[in-house]
Homo-oligomer: A and B are copies of this chain.
Amino acid sequence: MKTYKIALLPGDGIGRDVTEAAWAVLEKTAASSGFSLEATRYPWSCDYYLENGSMMPADGIETLRSFDAILLGAVGWPSKVPDSVSLHGLLLPIRKAFVQYANIRPHKLLPGVQGPLRSQDFDILCIRENTEGEYSGAGGRVHQGTDSEVAVETSIFTRKGVERILRFGFEQARVRRGKLASVTKSNAQKYSMVFWDEITHKLSAEYPDIEVTSYHIDAIAARMVMAPDSLDVVVASNLFGDILTDLGAAIQGGLGFAASANINPDRQAPSMFEPVHGSAPDIAHLGIANPIAAIWSGAMMLEHLGETAAAGRVMAAIETTTARGIGAIPGKDKTDAITASVLSVLG
């Protein structure tokens, strides 16, 4: 029997609650689908930092490298460790080290879920560049603490980095509805974003079957609210993708429903699957976090591992559950009740 080795990183706060829920669903699915999943849990988190002075051990990345995939809960607990430390010590280094350059986030309404928009009709796939751009981490501060202090933060875009994420976007558009929205702000950022636009333009010649439109980030943010059905695949930089996918989560009813995959498309290193939501310290360990985003992320993991039928079964179980009204209304059902429902639908 095929066995997949999965690194489980529950992380902080509700990350722990929802990762165990997702894991229960994945194990049950595997058992009845003819493959097995083997978990190794790592307690890397803000608590780990308080004890050890780092978010993960020095060989953390090397430890993770041997796995088939990583399932992550959430990272961060600002009152224990500043986000700028915790995220740069765990989540962001993994995305970068394993060249998980495509962060994929699907936005559509699950049955029974009511979003905040009048319009309920959309099916958007956001693809976010995940390794460089506005989150390169390059910058500094001078004259610190004085009236003349200046802080700079430099966005770095490489041709290789931009080209590969755009290509990934074109390929996704090809297996969906053939429309690609490329997001920039080239009217105000004339180095980085003009560069992105030029590469989009160049690649579009190679994909004559794809209808490409360039949007400014402000305009497409408005469009996601006013005409979300006009969008198919959206490809954006690290920051712009970050913003658009929270907006996507909002129109799909909330962060409890937003799944994501950090993909290394060349499969030279493990990919990582995580709900879009954060660790939500205020509701941690109360048993009330919605595990649907984490379970959906788990389904994306199965899909990535090639277990397409099993991934489909998980999605169907989620959809049956929310269609019955369970987990469909933020705050109504407990983590356990939602998980139990998904498990029982799985049979």
Contact = CB atoms under 8 A, between A and B. Distances in A.
Interface of A: 76, 83-84, 87-88, 92, 116-119, 134-135, 137, 139-141, 146-160, 185-195, 217-219, 221-223, 225-226, 238-239, 242-243, 245-247, 249-251, 254-255
Question: Copies per complex?
Answer: 2
A159 B150 CA distance: 6
A76 B185 CA distance: 14
B193 A218 contact: no
B255 A243 contact: no
Contacts of A150: 156-159
Nearest to A185: B239
Contacts of A117: 116-118, 225
Contacts of A159: 146-150
B135 A192 contact: no
Nearest to A155: B153
A301 B141 CA distance: 37
A251 B239 contact: no
A151 B118 CA distance: 40
A221 B225 CA distance: 11
Most B CB contacts (10 A, CB to CB) among A88, A140, A160, A239 go to A239
B250 A87 contact: no
Contact of A243 (B88, B139, B243): B243
Contacts of A193: 153
4 closest cross-chain pairs (CB), A and B: A139-B191, A83-B187, A218-B246, A153-B192
A151 to B, nearest CB: 4
A153 B158 CA distance: 12
22 contacts: A83-B186, A84-B187, A84-B194, A87-B187, A116-B225, A139-B192, A147-B159, A148-B159, A148-B160, A151-B157, A151-B191, A151-B192, A152-B155, A152-B191, A153-B154, A153-B191, A154-B154, A155-B155, A185-B242, A188-B238, A188-B239, A225-B251
Contacts of A87: 187-188
A158 B154 contact: no
B195 A151 contact: yes
Contacts of A221: 221, 243, 246-247, 250
A88 B188 CA distance: 8
Most B CB contacts (10 A, CB to CB) among A116, A118, A141, A188 go to A188
Contacts of A157: 150-153
Contacts of A151: 156-157, 191-192, 194-195
Nearest to A143: B159
Nearest to A227: B116
Given A159-B148, A195-B151, A188 B92 contact: yes
B190 A84 contact: yes
Contacts of A84: 186-187, 190, 194
Contacts of A92: 188
